[in-house]
Chain A
């Protein structure tokens, strides 16, 4: 198992809010901090924009892990967006866990525009975890596989 995982490159989708986390990712880049290249960032106006369907769709299209990043609670550009997102994701991730999808595949992290280091650390950590778990077999759609 370990042998296979060395070769295996997971696909990770990261939803980043435009105002904090995306800028944080930018800072990580301009500070020349490395984070795994298989993290695909999708920029959203606010973490609150992330529809639960987006997360499921990402899994369906072959993502092995999905992470949502937003401004720290209290710092939302739209004042309260991430508070709503927090409730939604709490319930959704709990439901995924209830249906038997490994809870390590989903994560929410609050990353501000000044936290380039945190962004890179979080992504490295998350990618390592997904590598350990291996391919997402429980939510993939076979038709989307090559």
Chain B
């Protein structure tokens, strides 16, 4: 990882100095080893001082480009394979200007979840040493070795692709593991197999945890409306804590429906949720349905194809006809 970070730093400094770009979008070190934050770097000094890339850089940087579109000059951005899908989707929706962006695709071995590490009883993390499947977590209480697959972010455990779909150049040192995109739907299928009562109980317990912090909306690369219905006090559904049992359902159903066919399944919603609600399961259900009803479709795989909800065929299936009888 250290090697990639150094390569990235060198690349960023090189492109800044030769004038290709005037700023760099990457991750800056936070107060702790594991809370790296997306940040803009304007100079060589800033990069040398705080630029960081390690296995706690799970954030998808593509959404930050929407805001950066307003600023002059070209920007350098580091994107992981899954982030490039979000990038393509933003290009498709004319939310970013491709000509003003220089993409360096970076290697991704799957990012780690600090919650999962803490759940293993490891506190006070100060560093990582990675050796393939084995990760040695260094903490103020000593070192502990864990298996990578056990402490990865949910979105990385069910990685959809390790292929960069948009980039100007790549920085890849080690070979990346193969991704099995169909694995993503196993939990959805599991829920589908339950009875309606069980599903309702499951979602009630999950969604009622929602505190309406709007983090899922703010981080979502598909949620780029400048005016959001959930910010409009006239709508009757504006941001508020769920005072009743309907509020959170409406928010999550509408939000996920709005990104249907545009959601690239980057998994950011679940990653940022402070209540650990498995929001990706809602989006994945839509993706699974679209794949089943209207043919395989991966949002962000290209910038030209028509989104499933803006297209139709005369022989589409009838609403409700796929559903089983009974409660």
Contact = CB atoms under 8 A, between A and B. Distances in A.
B200 A56 contact: no
A140 B316 contact: no
Given A60-B246, A91-B289, A86 B312 contact: yes
Interface stretch (B13-21, B44-52, B317-325): B317-325
Nearest to B235: A53
Contacts of B196: 97, 100-103
Given A52-B257, A99-B200, A138-B200, A91 B246 contact: no
Given A84-B309, A95-B282, A101 B256 contact: no
Contact of B293 (A90, A99, A133): A90
Interface string A81-92: 001101111111
A74 B69 CA distance: 42
A91 B260 contact: yes
Nearest to B200: A100
Main secondary structure of the interface of B (DSSP, over half): helix
B interface residue count range (under 10 / 10 to 19 / 20 to 34 / 35 or more):
35 or more
Contacts of B247: 141
Contacts of A118: none
B71 interface: no
B245 interface: yes
B294 to A, nearest CB: 7
Main secondary structure of the interface of A (DSSP, over half): helix
A73 to B, nearest CB: 6
A93 to B, nearest CB: 5
B193 to A, nearest CB: 11
Given A53-B237, A95-B286, 10 more contacts: A52-B254, A60-B250, A88-B309, A93-B319, A94-B289, A94-B322, A95-B256, A99-B253, A103-B320, A143-B244
B254 to A, nearest CB: 6
A87 B316 contact: yes
A103 B323 contact: yes
A114 interface: no
B131 interface: no
A86 B318 contact: yes
B205 to A, nearest CB: 11
17 contacts: A52-B257, A59-B246, A60-B250, A83-B312, A84-B309, A87-B316, A90-B316, A91-B309, A95-B282, A98-B285, A100-B196, A100-B199, A100-B202, A108-B319, A138-B200, A141-B245, A142-B246
Contacts of A143: 243-244
